[in-house]
Amino acid sequence: MDLDERRKLYQLTSTGRSPRQAPAELRNHPSTIYRELKRNHRFDEEPMFRGYFPLAAQAMAAG
């Protein structure tokens, strides 16, 4: 996924849409969406730092 797709995924999931709806809009396979969310979802004690962050996900993918 590129940064634009990650940003769209963030917008979809942050507005309460299901990850099942994302593949149709992003034109990716559902397993790609679920792997992306699982791989790059952050769990932190502070709620503000919990969730999926597209810039962090892009940085991790870039190496």
| Cα separations in angstroms, 33 against 36, 46, 49 | 5, 25, 21
The answer to whether the CB of 23 falls within 8 A of the CB of 16 is no
Q: What percent of the chain stands above pLDDT 70?
A: 100
Mean pLDDT of 14-33: 91
- What is the per-residue pLDDT for 63? 80
Total domains in the fold of the chain: 1
pLDDT higher than 90, residue 18: no
Helix (H) or strand (E) holding 11: helix 3-14
Mean pLDDT of 38-63: 92
Tokens coding 18: 């299901």
The parent domain of residue 29 ranges over: 3-62
